[in-house]
Amino acid sequence: MIQDTIAAISTALGEGGIAVIRVSGPAAVDSVSNILKSRTPLADAPSHTVTYGHIAAPGSGEIIEEVLVTVMKGPRSFTAEDVVEIGAHGGLVAVRKVLELVLEQPGVRVAEPGEFTKRAFLNGRIDLAQAEAVIDLIRSKSDRSYSVALKQAEGTLSRKIKALRHTLIELLAHIEVNIDYPEHDVTEMTSSYIKDSCGSAMEEIRRLLKTAAEGKILREGITTAIVGRPNVGKSSLLNALVQESKAIVTDIPGTTRDVIEEYITLSGIPLRLLDTAGIRETTDVVERIGVERSRSAAADADLLLLVLNHNEALHDDERELLAKLTGRQVVVIVNKSDLPARLKLDEVAAALPDSRIVMMSVLEEEGLEALEGAIRELFFEGQLESADLTYVSNVRHISLLNKASQALSEAVAATEDGIPIDMVQLDVRSAWELLGEIIGDTAGDSLIDQIFSQFCLGK
Ligand code: GDP
């Protein structure tokens, strides 16, 4: 049973128009009421209403901030507990002072990162898959990844998992009866029942896993490296892509070998561009180093955009690169198509069979659509799936679904081999538990702590 009340600044730290301090727990209303001067006492404010007032130090009466206070009584709140949100509009100092005053009230302590969402989970308002989707919502960098996360936060995946577990629990009950009353005809029926139930559950898991590759891409972006010799137009292409992109472009300094990433989206396909710093530098760097850098970025990428110059014959370095790219997802971009042809396309095609070749002139802004089309064909089956589809996008979920499916296939195999039914029961039970871990029903404390520790403060 949760007894203490937690508080934190829930908006991003830094200067902003407004900031919100969130308080949750049994003492939420009293603690804010103690430091609020308002016409109607906060304790009398009906749930889901806003009260105007001033935050004042209880002793000195010094006014610290003009605020709008929202009261949401549990269980109709984010955490399912009493929640009070103080909307302040001053700078960081005022917001900190308000939080300090709240924390001085009896029974209130500062919230840990993710603790509000964790309480929503512990109080049964959301399940673990939904809580994880909240992290994804905060972090999503494209409209697509946002809508994937939103569906999961609404519980579409959780409902499918619950339905699967329901099938399995019915099967377990049936097996239980059979173990208690082992009559022959029941045994016969049970074995076909096991095969049917496990079969349909495996089919549903297969359907969910089929969305995983695309779901993961939509969530994390396609890790992409632009490679090629100096002067072919890599940084011009990068600039054109960034300009074309309607998504937020972020520079993330990498922790290893100072790789800089940028996120862009091309007609809804999120790309995570690797080593963009390297690309922007190469013009001045010795050729050899440029190729070395290309190689290391290439090793980490899901998608390689190999840029060649339409106006120059294939170079030995490029032949070497092409040979190394066999079996990878590559789009060959033949840039500078506005200039006379000196590159032999059939030589490129022969060096890397089955590769997609796109003619482009970054200078004249031609070929970007063809590039988008080529990427879409490589990673998505035809059209991007409709937004209605439930995607499995989280590696933890993917791995649990795979394990559950494996356990079910073992149950079926054991039934077919005539292995005693209590052994089969173990496999079914393990599948049921693995699926439960996705939504948090059978998840251990350390897993739960680890998941919520990924959240930011105040969430
Ligand atoms: P990088 O070294 O591969 O990054 O190449 P840059 O992007 O720096 O481009 C090298 C030179 O090629 C620059 O002078 C660009 O303006 C030029 N360039 C890039 N794309 C095109 C193109 O499509 N057509 C023509 N004619 N020149 C281009």
pLDDT at 376 (0 to 100): 85
Does the C-beta of 53 come closer than 6 Å to ligand 1? no
Provide the 3-class DSSP secondary structure of residue 106.
coil
Distance 31 CA to ligand 1 centre (A): 63
Best residue among 226, 229, 231, 281 to mutate for probing ligand 1's pocket (most ligand atoms within 8 Å of CB) is 231
Amino acid at 231: N
What one-letter code names the amino acid at 47? S
Q: How far is the CA of 312 from the centre of ligand 1 (A)?
A: 13
Atom of ligand 1 nearest to the CA of 282: 2
Strands of the sheet with 260-266, listed across from one edge: 252-253, 260-266, 269-273, 222-227, 303-309, 330-335, 356-359
**What is the Å distance from ligand 1's center to 331 Cα?**
18
Type of residue found at 259: V
Looking at residue 279, what is its pLDDT? 62
Of ligand 1's atoms, which has the minimum distance to the CA of residue 232?
3
**Are the CB atoms for 215 and 221 separated by under 8 Å?**
no
Tens digits of pLDDT across the chain (459 residues): 568 999 999 887 777 778 999 999 999 999 999 999 999 999 999 999 999 999 998 888 889 999 999 999 999 999 999 999 999 987 778 889 999 999 999 999 999 888 999 999 999 999 999 998 888 887 777 777 777 888 888 888 999 999 999 999 999 988 888 777 766 566 666 788 899 999 999 999 999 998 887 777 777 788 898 888 888 988 889 888 887 764 444 444 333 344 567 778 777 778 888 766 566 554 444 444 455 655 666 777 889 999 999 999 999 988 988 888 888 889 999 999 999 999 999 999 999 988 899 999 999 999 999 998 898 888 876 555 555 567 888 889 999 999 999 999 999 999 999 888 888 999 999 999 999 999 998 878 888 888 888 777 777
Q: Is 309 in the pocket of ligand 1 (CB under 6 A)?
A: no
Q: What does the block give as tokens for 439?
A: 């939504």
Quickly count: other Cβ atoms within 10 Å of residue 91's Cβ: 13
**Domains in the chain, ordered, with CATH?**
5-111 (3.30.1360.120), 131-211+392-443 (1.20.120.430), 223-380 (3.40.50.300)
Atom of ligand 1 nearest to the CA of 362: 23
Q: How far is the CA of 236 from the centre of ligand 1 (A)?
A: 6
User: Which DSSP category does 361 fall into?
Assistant: B
Say yes or no: CB of residue 335 within 6 Å of ligand 1. yes
Query: Which residues fall within 8 angstroms of residue 425, CB to CB, at 6 or more apart?
Result: 172, 175, 176, 179
User: Distance between CA atoms of 117 and 145, rounded to whole angstroms?
Assistant: 20
Looking at this protein, which amino acid is placed at residue 441?
Answer: D
* Whether the CB of 236 sits within 6 Å of ligand 1: yes
pTM: 0.67
Ligand 1 centroid–CA 231 distance in Å is 6
Strands 260-266 and 83-88: unpaired
User: Hey, what amino acid is at 385?
Assistant: E
Could you give the maximum distance between any two Cα atoms of the chain, in Å?
84
**CA-to-CA distance for 407 and 400, rounded, in angstroms?**
11
Q: Which atom of ligand 1 is nearest to the CA of 228?
A: 3
Mutation pick for ligand 1 pocket among 231, 236, 293, 362 (CB with most ligand atoms within 8 Å): 236
Alpha-carbon span 194 to 176, nearest angstrom? 12
Measured from the CA of 239, which atom of ligand 1 is nearest?
A: 7
DSSP 66: E
Report which protein residue has its CA nearest ligand 1's atom 17.
233
Three-state secondary-structure class, residue 23:
strand
* Ligand 1 pocket, residue 276 CB under 6 Å: no
Q: Which atom of ligand 1 is nearest to the CA of 361?
A: 23
Number of residues that make up the chain: 459
CA distance 143 to 137: 10
Tokens read off for 141: 């960098």
- Residue 257: the pLDDT is 40
Ligand 1: centre distance to CA 232 (Å): 6
CB of residue 290 inside a 6 A radius of ligand 1: no
Distance from Cα 364 to the centre of ligand 1, integer Å: 11
Give dist(CA 90, CA 65) in Å, integer: 7
What pLDDT, on the 0 to 100 scale, is given for residue 296?
A: 65
Q: Is the CB of 147 under 6 A from ligand 1?
A: no
Distance of CA 360 from the midpoint of ligand 1 (Å):
11
Interval between CA 65 and ligand 1 midpoint (Å): 55
Comparing CA positions, the residue from 3, 4, 6, 42 lying closest to residue 21 is 6
- Evaluate whether 307 touches 227 at the Cβ level (below 8 Å): yes
Q: Is the CB of 336 under 6 A from ligand 1?
A: yes
* pLDDT score of 240: 87
Q: In ligand 1, which atom is closest to the CA atom of 279?
A: 4
